[in-house]
Structures are given as structure tokens and as C-alpha cells.
Amino acid sequence: MLIKPTRGSAALQSCALAIGFSIWLSAAALARTVKDQTGRMVNVPENPHRLVSLAPNITEIVYALGLGDELAGDTDNCDFPPQAKDKPHVGAMVNPSLERIVALKPDLALGTPEANRRETADQLERLGIPLYGVTASTLQGTLASIEDLGKILGRAEQARSLVAQMQARIDRVGKQIEGRPKPKVLFVVWYRPLITVGPHTFIADVIRAAGGIPVGDNLKGEWPRLSLEELLPLDPEVILFPQTESFSPSKREFQTLPGWKDLQAVKEGRMFFVSETIMRPGPRLVDALEELAGVLK
Amino acid sequence: MTLPATPRNVMAVALAMSLLLVLVVLVSLTLGAVHVPLSQVWRALTARGGGSEAAIIVLDIRLPRILLAILVGAALSVAGTGLQALLRNPLADPYVLGISSGAAVGAIFALWLGGRIASASPLAAFIGAMITMLWVYLLGRSGGRLASYTLILAGVITASFLSAIILFMLTLLSTRDVRGIAFWLMGDLSVTPLAELRLLAPVVILAIAGLYLLAKDLNVLLLGAEEAAHLGVNVARVEAAVYILASLLTGLAVSTSGAIGYLGLLVPHLGRMLVGNDHRMLLPTAALGGAILLVLSDTLARTALAPSELPVGAVTAVAGAPVFIYLLRKTAG
Amino acid sequence: MTESLHHLRVEGVSFRYPHFELASTSFEAHSGEVLAIIGPNGSGKSTLLEIVSGHLGPQAGKVTLDSADLHRLPPRPLARLVGLARQETILLFSFEVREFVRQGRHPHLGRSLFESPEDERWVDWAMEKTRLAEFAGRRVLEMSSGEFQRAVLARTLAQRPQLVLLDEPTANLDIGYQIEMFRLLRQLAISERFIAVVVTHELNLASELADELILMERGRCLAKGTAEEVLQPELLSRVFRTPILVDRNPSSGRPRVTWVTAPH
């Protein structure tokens, strides 16, 4: 930053500097340095009251914790709850506009490495805006994220009760699926090429909690690609598609596709659409879990 | 049009273009996802903006990008001019010798190693670029000098080999890192902090100055290697110097901001159309012209689909390809 | 070019390629003289010229210009003394004619990046002598090959060398320009006191305008001397492997070579 003291206002400037410095010092004293869920050290302010969310699942968590009013801005993709759509947008998840974020004057930004780039976190840090990252690779991990966010956002109570409710529903599902046969499930993120979920993702975990066995235990990464040759021996009994705007192939289509048409799931017509919420590690993930348990019956 | 390269003409052109650059910079500072009026831009620049959000946007977000755009635009354009003289081909570009692929391999390698090394990926990219430069140099030498056909062959083969390696390494990376790299590969001016700029600027300026000192040799080199030797040019030494300086400039540009395409190819060409082939006039024209064009491209990238940002390489490609095709047809016809 | 006279000595130079050998050759020349190297294709004329220019190091022998060994000079001082013009590579860049000729001043620019007024004057002089002044603003790529050759000669003259070496400078010129170029060379060799060595196929032009001829065949120098001495019919017939008559040019009295086309 350029600092060019002009003669006449030198005294005024040093006063302003001193005041600013003490405010900064006190603000720093009121902030604490914590480790976020991605392992980064973040300077979180004591009572953040202007938040920017950089991912849709975080937006849902923020609203669920009753902090809807404190949300100053979110991304173009944040569509739940409906009020989130009316919040000022800062752009897409992968390359949000730094200018828009700065213009909103947040004291804390929230992101997730699944959707946001490390560069964005570094750049925001350089501009003095801390970014707290949450991540979840299991169902329990999602609950932990909610509790964690609750703690740093000063809504620990709400978070605990929300998590308790979610846990109760998870346990109920667990009882429901007791004794039921566990079908092999293929979750199709995209079919050309075939992209499915890795065994260590929260989606795979939800499938397990709903009484299914996600195919491909030895697949690597979060969104592994499968060739048709690899798919055939896995022979899933159930195929799931997330219901998004851009993805609605018909079952009949698959019964004609080479490779696909030989799978027992396709032959028996056990192909189902599930709500998109299964892809969002947030409060509605248990809705997806319950829906999935019903489908896999 | 050819302007005779006299010191006065060169300074006049350089001055005119510098003024244009300053104008473009001022306008660009007002544009972006958030509109900042010129008065606030001015206040921010003269340090009277205080900590206002306008000042932060202008000084911490836009200005570093614009300064980087100036450096990278100038570096790539000058590198392209030098390489076109070295290879005696007006359609050569700085990436034809594999430097950008080498930088990409370096960056991806650092990301794959992860951790602290990942954050030093610009340095790794630069090292990758320099290793590639050395490798292509050793491969492309023929008879003690850098004959253009062997050099191009060596460069093209190396580039395609490295591209295959890049694709392979991308499959090893986790999805999040791939997303990050994709942006870098397309050209991204937003990730470089001011501190890095302070390291970058003097090296770029020195390298450009070095090439300028070779300007009269470059002119003669265009006549042909033999003819240049007959006119007293130490061809082997000049070729080596041009190669190293052009590769250095390209490596610096690519490791800080990814592979921004078309600039190194088109700016020298446009420069030739404007001021002729004399490098004493062409080099400053290319440097300043490249800076202006990249600042404009970056501003477009920031504003066209605001608040989303396009990668600047996409803008130069979309704008550059039709210009390239037009120029190609013009030279053919 | 200086006021004094220059002396070129080529002493026993030889060079062996994998399938061609230039045998030991020697000759001498002085300022004001035009030397012509003649002979069939592949006789080693161009190789000899390259060695004399200082750009191809001989495997034996040496070339001295006023007692300076040309092969020991670094490129720039060499280019100040020796101007060599050969068949040029095709240019992809569109230079203006004057820019092209101005390149000849490169060896004299020294540390300066730009040409001095004196440099510009020599460029003007070279273009005037080769009658290219009217072409100054034209593009080199737009010229006919004959005009281009004049431009190359102008560039060499702009170098103001003490030794001017030309390889087939009249190859694409019509007869009028051919005579003009050779005459110009003679004139300038005398007025500017340089030595001209020209490789040429034009036996009759060489006869008219060269002070000395050197006849090469398969890498050997077969004859060296005046036109009278070198242009012998039996020798020429054998070397060029076709019957040749030698008579006299009625206007100049110099030997005139005629190819025999009808059997006798």
C-alpha cells in the first residue's frame, strides 16, 4: 500500500494511524486462531456477524443455525432455503469475485475444499478476510461440520440440538434396515463417461447408512471414472441417479446402451432418481438418507 | 508502414504507447464486478482512500492484477518477437519450444507432492520451464548453433511428450487440485501477490533490456544465418542469447500466470504491421502493445460475465483466434 | 576503404569435403583489380570463394589481406574488411529496400544501436551506384530477382569493404544489367580501391571486364592469368566437355568464347 504523508496533515495522519492500530489490536485480541477442518490456521473473529458462504451446503447450515440474517452474501448456486437466492451473489464456487466479497465487508468467509480453490482462500487471507473451511467425507463428518460451524459462529446450542435431531433420524433408519438384504448400489454422477463416487465420500457413506453397498471398494479418489469393462463385473443391483436439471436420461435409453443393457439393475428396471440433496453435505442430508432407505427397500 | 528506426522515432512511439497504457490502466481500475468511479480510483492511488472498500478493491485486488498483466503481456510479446527472429518465422510463438508445457509439469508435480511444496508451485513451474529450456537447447543444437529447423523439431517433440506427461499426472491428482490446475493452465492473473511482483518486475525488465541490446543483431539475423555471419554477427552467440532471454521471459510469464495464449504470436505480428521489422522500433512496440492488450483482455475477463471471472487465456484465445486467421489469410493471399 | 592500396594473398589453400577436394590454390590481387573465377559446376569455385572470404577455414594455407590473416579475425572486424554476397535465402519478412541495404552498415555500428548520419550517407551512396534510389520505399519481396540481386550488391557496397566477393552476381540479370554491373565493379574497384573477386559463368563478361581469370576444374586450378592466357579453346573444350571456339570481340579485341552448336 502506498503511504505518502503530506506535510500539513502529518499530525492528523499519525493520529488516525494510532487509532486504527489500536482498533486493529483490539480486534486481533478479540479474534482467535483456530485450526479449521482442512488443517489451516484461521484467525476467526469472536462474534462474526457478517458472513459470506462460498458453497450451497454451507449456506444451508448457516440458515439452519438461525444465522440467515447474518449471511451477507452467497454463491450463484445457493438455492436452499429459497431466501438464499435473494442474497447478494459473489459468483460461482470455483472462482468467486474477490471484489464482490470485499464489497460485502464480511468478517468471516466459509468454504469447503470440495467446491472452492485453495487459491481463493489464500487471496482472501491476503485481503484480510479469514476463510474457515469445513469438509466431510462421512455422514458423521457432516454432523461434525455442523457442530463445528455452530461453535465458531456462536450457535453451539442450536447446532447441538440440530445434530441430535439428525442423529435420531439416522438411528431410526439404522433400525429400519436391520435384517434387510443389502443391495449393491451404483451411484451415477455422470454416465458419459461413467463417473461414480469413491468409497470414502459422504455420498458412499449415506448409501451404506441407507442399507446399500456402494460398488467399487477399491476405487480411488472422490469422483472415480469407470470404464464399461470395469462396470460389468461389479454388476450393481440398483442404479441411482441424482435428480438435477441437466441430467434426466430415460430408463429405456439405458436398456439400449452397450454394456449397460447387460447389467441386472438395468434389465430389472431397478434404476431410480434420488433428490439432489444427497450431494449436499448439510442438514438435509438426512432427508436424502431417509429417501434412499425407502428406495432400497 | 515502416517508421525509420531513429532514436527520436523510437522514443516518440514508446512515449505515445506508454501514455496509452497509462490511460488503459486508469480505465481498467474503474471496471470490475464492483464499479469504482474514477474519482475514487484516483483517491486510492494517491493514498487518500484510507481503508475504504474502494481502496482495497483498487489497490489490493485490481492493481496487482493489472501490474502483472503489464509484465506478463510485455514478457510474452517480447519473447515472441525474439523467437520469431531466431526461428526466422513470423508465425512462431513462445510456446512452440515446449517451455509452457515444462512449466505446467513443474506446477503439477509440486501440487502432487502436496503440502508446503504445493504453495511454491510458481517456483516449481519456473524450474520446470528452465529445465525444458536447457533440454530443448541441447537437443536442438546442430553444428554448434541453433539451426531453426532442428530447434523447432526438438521443441515440438518435447512439447508433445510433456503434454502426455501432463495428462498422465492429472489423473494422479485429486479432483480439487485438478480444478486449481485447470484454471492455471488456462491463464490466471489473479493469484500472484504483490511481493512476487517485486521479484518478477526487475527480472522481466532486465531481460527485455537485454533483448533490446541485441536489436540490431536481430535485424541482421532475419536475413539468414549465413548472411548474418557475413555481416559480422557472431551468430552462435546471438542465437544462444536470444534463446535464453526469450525462454526466460516465457518461463517467468507462464509460471506466474499460466499459459496465456496468442499474445506471443500476434503482438509481434501486429507490431510489424504497425512499425515494420526493425527490432529497435518493434521491441518497444511489442512490449507496450502486449501490455496494453493483456490489460484489456484481463479487464474483459473480469467484467464480461461478472461476478464470474473468465480465465484470461480464454479471452485471448477467443479474441486472438479470429485475428490469427485473418492475418494468416492476409499473408497467404 | 582507405587511401592506400590493398593486397590480397591467397597462399596454398586447400579443403577436403567427404566427396570433394579443393586442391592447393594460390593467387594474388591488388586494389583496383577484378578477378574472375570461372569453371563448370562443381569445380570448387564457391568453396574457394568462401575460403577467401575468411568464413570457411582452409585445411592448409592462408589468406591474408594486407598481412592480416583473415581466418584469425573475429566476425565483426572481418565483416568490415570483407563483403561476401551469395545466393540469398528467401526472406519471409517484408523489408523495405533501403532497410535491407542499410544492414550492410552493421559491422560498422560498433557499440551504437543506431546508424549515424555517415552510415546513412554510405547507404545512399550504395543505392545510387546500383541505381536503386527509385526503389528506396519498395518492399524487397516485391522486387524481381534481378532487382533483388542489385539490392544485395548495394548492401555489400554499403559495407565499404576492402575485398568484395561476389558469387554469381549476374545470374538473374538481363544482358544490359550484366554489363552494367561488371563495369560498375571495375569502376568502383578503382575509385574505392577495393579488390573484387567474382565467381561467374559469364565467360565473355569475364574476358571483357576482369583483369585476371582463374579457371577451376574438379577442385584444381588449371589456369591463371589474363583472358588471352586462360581462354584457350582446347583447354576450355576439355574442361566444359563441349567444342568451343575462341575468337576476338570485334569492338574490344578481347577473346570471345563461342559454343559450337553444329558438328563440323
* Closest chain C C-alpha to B266 CA, distance in angstroms: 15
Mean per-residue pLDDT, A220-232: 82
Q: Does B234 touch chain C (CB under 8 A)?
A: yes
Contact by Cβ (8 Å): B61, B54:
no
C210, pLDDT greater than 90: yes
| Separation of alpha carbons A119 and A113, rounded Å | 11
> Is there a contact between A2 and B47 if contact means CB atoms under 8 Å apart?
yes
Q: Does A96 touch chain B (CB under 8 A)?
A: yes
Query: Is residue C186 a contact partner of residue C105, using CB atoms and an 8 Å limit?
Result: no
Q: What angle do CA A167, A172, A177 make, to 5 degrees?
A: 125
Neighbours of A56 (CB within 10 A): 23
CA distance B173 to chain A (A): 9
Closest residue, chain C, to B331 (C-alpha): C92
Position C160 scores a pLDDT of 95
pLDDT at A3: 42
| Residue B1 pLDDT | 61
* Nearest Cα residue in chain C from B236: C75
pLDDT at A21: 59
First to last CA, chain C: 52
A103 inside 8 A of chain B by CB: yes
| Degrees, nearest 5: CA angle B255-B260-B264 | 105
Please, which residues 21-60 of chain A have a Cβ atom closer than 8 Å to chain B? Answer: none
What is the residue type of A164?
A: A
**Chain B interface mutation, best of C71, C86, C99, highest count of B Cβ atoms under 10 Å:** C99
Query: B223 — contact with chain C (CB < 8 Å)?
Result: yes
Instruction: Read off the pLDDT of residues C61-104 as tens digits, 9 standing for 90 and up.
Output: 999 999 899 999 999 999 999 999 887 766 778 888 999 999 99
Residue pairs between chains B and C whose CB atoms are closer than 8 Å: 76
B62, B180, B188 ranked by CB distance to A118: nearest: B180
Cβ-based contacts of A118 with chain B (< 8 Å): 118, 176, 180
Residue A278, pLDDT > 80, answer yes
Does the pLDDT of residue C112 top 90, yes or no? no
Share of chain A above pLDDT 70, in %: 88
Cβ-Cβ contacts under 8 Å, A20 against chain B:
51
Residue A250 has pLDDT above 90, yes or no: no
What's residue A2's pLDDT?
40
Q: What is the pLDDT of residue A226?
A: 83
Residue bearing cell 545510387: C128
Q: Closest partner residue to A126 among B51, B183, B193, by Cβ?
A: B193
Cβ(B175)–Cβ(A223) below 8 Å: yes
All three cell numbers of B181, joined, read 490446475
**How far is the CA of A168 from the CAs of A146, A164, A174, B246, C133, in angstroms?**
15, 6, 10, 65, 98
Is A200's Cβ below 8 Å from some Cβ in B? no
The reply to whether omega before A82 is within 30° of 0 (cis) is: no
- Mean pLDDT in residue range A161-188: 92
| Nearest residue of B to residue C75, measured between CA atoms | B232
**Terminal CA-to-CA distance of chain A, rounded, Å?**
63
Q: Give the pLDDT mean for C104-123.
A: 92
pLDDT beneath 70: ranges in chain B: 1, 49, 115-119, 174-177, 180, 183, 331-333
- From chain B, the residues in CB contact with A119 under 8 A are 180, 183, 188, 190-191
C-alpha to C-alpha distances, B7 to B13, B257, B316, nearest whole angstrom: 10, 34, 32
Contact B222 C91 (CB under 8 A): yes
Residue of B nearest to A92 (CA): B308
Extract the runs of DSSP E, i.e. beta strands, from A47-169: 51-53, 71-73, 108-111, 131-133
Interface of C with B in 70-109 (CB under 8 A): 74-80, 83-86, 88-89, 91-96, 99-100, 103-104, 106-107, 109
Task: Tell me how far apart the alpha carbons of residues B277 and B268 are, in angstroms, rounded to a whole number.
Answer: 9
Name chain B contacts of C78, Cβ cutoff 8 Å. 232
Residues 6+ apart with CB under 8 A from B333: none
A abuts C (3+ Cβ pairs < 8 Å)? no
pLDDT of C188 higher than 90: yes
By C-alpha distance, the chain B residue nearest A118 is B180
All three cell numbers of C240: 566444359
Cα distances (angstroms) measured from residue A61 to each of A57, A74, A147, A279? 6, 12, 10, 14
- The answer to whether C111 faces chain B, any CB pair under 8 Å, is no
Mean of pLDDT values over C130-155: 87
A/B interface, count of CB pairs below 8 Å: 85
The answer to whether residue B233 neighbours chain C at the CB level (below 8 Å) is yes
Amino acid A5: pLDDT: 44
| C87 contacts on B by Cβ (under 8 Å) | none
Q: What pLDDT, on a 0 to 100 scale, did the predictor assign at position B145?
A: 79
Q: Is C138 on the interface with B (CB under 8 A)?
A: no
Interface test with C, best of B148, B223, B237 (most C CBs within 10 A): B223
pLDDT tens per residue, range C45-72: 999 999 999 999 999 999 999 989 999 9
pLDDT in tens, A102-148: 999 999 999 998 888 888 898 898 888 999 999 988 999 999 999 99
Write down the pLDDT at residue A9.
59
Q: How many CB atoms lie within 10 A of CB A183?
A: 16
CB contact under 8 A, B229 and C55: yes
CA distance C80 to B57: 59
Flag if A76 and B175 touch (Cβ within 8 Å).
no
Top-confidence range, A255-259, C133-137, C215-219 = C215-219
**Buried (b) or exposed (e) across C31-51, using 16+ Cβ within 10 A?**
bbbbbbbbbeeebbbbbbbbb
CB environment B225-262: b (16+ within 10 A), e (fewer): bbbbbbbbbebbebbbbbbbbbbbbbbbbbbbbbbbbb
Q: Which residue has the higher pLDDT, B183 or C149?
A: C149
Would the CB atoms of B6 and C114 count as touching at under 8 Å?
A: yes
Residues of chain C with pLDDT > 90, as a percent, come to 69
**B34, B62, B65: which to substitute to probe chain A, counting the most A Cβ within 10 Å?**
B34
**Considering CB atoms only, which of B5, B232, B233 is closest to C114?**
B5
Q: What is the pLDDT of residues B128-150, one digit of tens each?
A: 999 999 999 998 888 777 778 88
